[in-house]
Amino acid sequence: MPEGDTVWQTARRLDDALAGPPLTGCDLRVPRLATVDLTGRRVLEVVARGKHLLTRVEGGLTLHSHLRMDGAWLVYGHGERWRGGPHHQIRAVLATAERTAVGYRLPVLELLRTADEDRAVGHLGPDLLGPDWDPDEALGRLLADPSRPVGEALLDQRNLAGIGNVYTCELCFVLRVPPWLPIGRVPSPERLVDLAKRLLEANRTRRARVTTAQARPDRRLWVYGRAGRPCLRCGTPVRAADQGRAGQERTTFWCPVCQPEPPDPGPSQ
């Protein structure tokens, strides 16, 4: 599933494929953009902002897209067969003389003035892989609601941008905290911010995400996707449960032995 590292890689591929030469084709298959034609304009750059993609086009325009759970941008060479899914799932096509980028199952696709990008991404916290990264600001946002479960706080893109459910589960495991622990009770919470940055940086150029430093496909992640299988650290079966507000639940994975809830410190004196 797309997380900050995946979106960063997608932006790099799109930038390599589209930036520079004029567009020779443009087909935006959502009703409000049906009459838009960017043919003849040049793509200036494609950048990631958290999990958002911003394709900046000359003339002061930005095509904003978001992959959410199963969207994808795929790049094909001239004459290459498109293989990203059935044609009815295509939402956008941008082509140059040499390459074609096809957006499949994009739940968010809109055209903005580049000067108005904050309408789409201005609410986001510091980007773990972006030039605006500020660990102190990210930590302050995380701790603004100390009673919020750490798993929910990490997933909130208004706190820090780029973390999805995979990294949330892995961060909590590595730091030995249960995902339901209030963020205000996490020991040394700055470690969450530091480790999140290091994990995304380490994986942004990898084809397969790794958090364990092990190369075997079934051992690349500590707990995510391992429900019922032995914990790679202690052997206890990994558990899974839904977490989050109604309608926004995510399946959370954790080890009940490696991630025990610390004792309640009781009322402050």
For the chain, the C-alpha Rg in angstroms (whole number) is: 20
Q: Is 13 a catalytic residue?
A: no
**Is 197 annotated in the active site?**
no
Look up residue 13 and give its amino acid: R
Q: Give CA–CA dist 186/174, Å, rounded.
A: 13
Active site residue: 2, 126, 149, 189, which one?
2
Q: Are 77 and 90 in contact (CB under 8 A)?
A: no
Task: Give dist(CA 126, CA 104) in Å, integer.
Answer: 28
Catalytic residue selected from 49, 51, 204, 226: 51
Q: Which of 99, 141, 220, 250 is catalytic?
A: 250
Q: Strand 52-57 relative to strand 43-49: parallel, antiparallel, unpaired?
A: antiparallel
Which DSSP letter does residue 3 get?
-
The question of whether 250 is a catalytic residue gets the answer yes
Q: Which of 3, 149, 170, 178 is catalytic?
A: 3
Annotated catalytic sites, by residue? Answer: 2-3, 51, 250
